[in-house]
Amino acid sequence: MSSVSSASKSLPDYALEARGLRKIYGTAGSGTAKEALKGVDLQIPRGSIFGLLGPNGAGKSTFINIFAGLVKKTEGEARTWGLDITTQSRRARAAIGVVPQEINMDVFFTPYEILELMAGFYGVPQAERRTDELLDAVGLADKRNAYVRQLSGGMKRRLLVAKAMVHNPPVLVLDEPTAGVDIELRRQLWDYVRELHARGTTIVLTTHYLEEAQELCDQIAIINQGEVVACEPKEKLLQRMDRKTLVIQPVEALSAIPEGLSGFDASLREDGGLAITYRKGEASVAEMIERFRASGSRIDDLRTEEPNLEDVFLALTYNNPDVQPPTQDR
């Protein structure tokens, strides 16, 4: 049970796979029923660091918890590492480690004891346990025998990551891994996640913290109101945002937008710079600069800004027309 990856004859294309996955909380047809997943099709490629993004209530936790065996699906198919979570549930569960959002641990045990107990729970034989190696990897070697109640919030979170890895699963899911974690610890956790990924673990993380997804993930799905609204490599997703911003820094701060630029989507920045947003291919930067010069102002500096993940996310979840439909060749 401890090593699903080596037991498999051939490696699956997808770490997690959902087809027509539906979840209705409550009784269907009753006034309180809530359709949290509306027939989700989503394939998470083996070997990726995959970000599952969406606003609160989008259905991210429901999706993850179905694979973790904590929520029962209403309809559809779900596979972990190629294994059906219903008909091959034991092996499917062994292929996944889930780091939950809430820190909920027995505070009277030590980190070492907690990991040993978890390994026992998964039936990992003594000879295959890596308790000290895991403690070391999450920077808790020196807290090996401390009581969990003495650990800081960040340390507890790292212990949760180690706990999810005791059975060496090929897929690690982190649910909002750095919510409430300070910047230094966040970077430490990201480094560890990258290291696990480099060693072959497929990483899936849910986050509404877009900087985290932009920094870590190579593939991204955006889920909104129980439906997947985008799923593609990060770079491609960013390219879908069909606009750019030209920022002109004048020698002397402007007090108003120059008249010649009134037909453009221009705004003044607090530092006196002028930002002009345009669709790629639809406006001439040379013309913008010419009109700016014609107003009598001198240019100190010029730069362009590309959209970031936050722009794409907002566009996709709030129906902003700036975002382009996906290209077909993914």
What string marks each residue from 123 to 162 as x (binds ligand ADP by CB under 6 A) or -?
----------------------------------------
Nearer to ligand ADP, 34 or 279 (CB): 34
Nearer to ligand ADP, 34 or 269 (CB): 34
CB of 222 to ligand ADP, least distance (A): 11
What string marks each residue from 32 to 71 as x (binds ligand ADP by CB under 6 A) or -?
--x-x-----------------x-xxxxxxx---------
User: Looking at 5, 8, 20, 25, which residue binds ligand ADP (CB under 6 A)?
Assistant: 25
Residue the block writes with tokens 């993914």: 330
Residue 14 tokens read as 């997808």
Amino acid identity at 196? L
134 within 8 A of 165, measured Cβ to Cβ: yes
256 within 8 A of 228, measured Cβ to Cβ: no
Nearer to ligand ADP, 26 or 120 (CB): 26
Q: Which of residues 62-121 bind ligand ADP (CB under 6 A)?
A: 62
Q: How many residues bind ligand ADP (CB under 6 A)?
A: 12
CB of 288 to ligand ADP, least distance (A): 40
Report if residue 177 touches ligand ADP, rule: CB under 6 A.
no
CA gap 191, 213 in Å, rounded: 14
CB of 101 to ligand ADP, least distance (A): 9
222 SS3 class: strand
CB of 320 to ligand ADP, least distance (A): 20
CB of 74 to ligand ADP, least distance (A): 12
Residue the block writes with tokens 């996310």: 313
| Residue 103 CB partners (closer than 8 Å, separation 6+) | 153, 156, 157, 160
Residue the block writes with tokens 């796979």: 17
DSSP string, 39-92: EEEEEEETT-EEEEE--TTSSHHHHHHHHHTSS--SEEEEEETTEETTTTHHHH
CB of 136 to ligand ADP, least distance (A): 32
Nearer to ligand ADP, 54 or 258 (CB): 54
117 within 8 A of 105, measured Cβ to Cβ: no
CB of 37 to ligand ADP, least distance (A): 8
b/e burial code for range 106-125 (CB count within 10 A of at least 16 → b)? eeeebbbbbbbebbeebebe
CB of 25 to ligand ADP, least distance (A): 3
CA gap 15, 13 in Å, rounded: 7
Residues that bind ligand ADP (CB under 6 A): 25-26, 34, 36, 54, 56-62
